[in-house]
Amino acid sequence: MSVGQEFTSHSSSGGPLVHCLYEPDTGSWQYICADPATGKCAIIDPVLDFDPAHARTSTESAEKLLGIVKQHGYDVQWILDTHPHADHLTAGRWLADCTGAPHVIGEKVTEIAKLWRDYYHLPDAFPVADDFDRLLPEGIDFSIGELGVKVLLSAGHTLGSVSYVVDDAAFVHDALMHVDVGTARADFPGGSTGEIWDLIQEILSLPENTRLFIGHDYGADKRERPACEATVAQHRTDNPHVGGNQSKEAFIKLREERDATLGLPDRVLFALQVNLRGGRLPPAEADGNSYFKIPANKF
């Protein structure tokens, strides 16, 4: 993989330090959300590097995350995924094994697993409760050090996505793109354009200085570098899909027309059968190797 951008976002009101790391092969943002008072942190949406041409995984991105943790003397308290990603494999299990921190995700991922068992024709696969250390219901509160975290059900991009609101920072995954781009697609199985609109309105009702951290950025004509952070106030005003006086009806029309032009991500059929196992490869067969199962002519 190529080396990606890295920077740290500082709170102006006592909220978390957020280390932001870009993985350029999939356009993914990964985060370390740290409580500066205690040194406790959570790693959010980590990437397991994957070469689809050779079906080969590596842990370079995850090792970089651990390097930052070590550099700052952090204590990893949580490994958090916002949803089973379609465009990259999660390094959640690998990091949980390295750190001893629990790997968690929203509880509605069990419903996503039901859909994909059918797509893969694997009726006994993806025992989600066994493969994640904890499944989080909407509205539950937990903490990173002394910072409270609220889990917000974030259906729309997938039916089981969650966002994590940590003081003045919110990790909103693939609901929003960067403020100069718009919003994320809602056409994956279980997705809903109407639900993603409702979710975004809930996100934009947070205090206007809340820093919103997105899941992906693929660049924009007016920017030289990937970006991941903008405030609620900026999205309310400047986001071309949901800012200003945009109506729900106009948004749904725009989003559905745009989604109709999009193909599947090139890693999706690999990624879901790993991510629904909490980051584990398919079970090894008699020769000791794992094998992906890819449905032909199904999508």
Domain ranges of the chain: 6-274
For 67-122, write each residue's pLDDT tens digit. Answer: 999 999 999 999 999 999 999 999 999 999 999 999 999 999 999 999 999 999 99
d(CA 121, CA 118): 5
Work out the mean pLDDT of the chain and round it to a whole number.
93
| Per-residue pLDDT band at 154 (split at 50, 70, 90) | confident
Instruction: Determine what percent of the chain is predicted with pLDDT higher than 90.
Output: 82
pTM of the full predicted structure?
A: 0.95
pLDDT of residue 271: 96
The DSSP 8-state label assigned to residue 235 in this structure reads: H
Closest CA to 195 of 174, 220, 210: 174
State what percent of residues in the chain have pLDDT above 70: 99
Asked if residue 239 has pLDDT above 90, the reply is yes
Residue 158: its pLDDT value, please? 76
pLDDT confidence tier of residue 3, bands split at 50, 70 and 90: low
Residues in contact with 152: Cβ distance below 8 Å, sequence separation at least 6, in sequence order: 138, 139, 162, 163, 164, 165, 170, 202, 203
CA distances from 262 to 2, 86, 259, 270 (A): 25, 13, 5, 18
Buried b / exposed e across 126-145, counting CB within 10 Å, b at 16+? bebeebbbeebeeeeebebb
User: By mean pLDDT, which of 94-103, 117-126, 188-197, 224-233 is the weakest?
Assistant: 188-197
Distance separating alpha carbons of residues 41 and 63, to the nearest angstrom: 16
Q: What is the pLDDT of residue 1?
A: 39
| CATH C-level class of 6-274 | alpha beta
Residue 2 has pLDDT above 80, yes or no: no
pLDDT of 290 > 50? The answer is yes
pLDDT of residue 153: 83
What is the gyration radius of the CA atoms in the chain, in angstroms?
18
Who contacts 252 (Cβ-Cβ below 8 Å, separation ≥6)?
193, 194, 197
End-to-end CA distance of the chain: 28
45 with 20: CB under 8 angstroms?
Answer: no
d(CA 99, CA 22): 21
Task: Report residue 186's pLDDT band, with 50, 70 and 90 as the boundaries.
Answer: confident
Kindly give, in sequence order, each residue whose CB lies less than 8 Å from that of residue 226, ignoring residues fewer than 6 positions away: 4, 5, 22, 24, 27, 29, 217, 218, 219
Q: Is the pLDDT of residue 170 over 50?
A: yes
In tens, the pLDDT along 203-216 reads 999 999 999 999 99
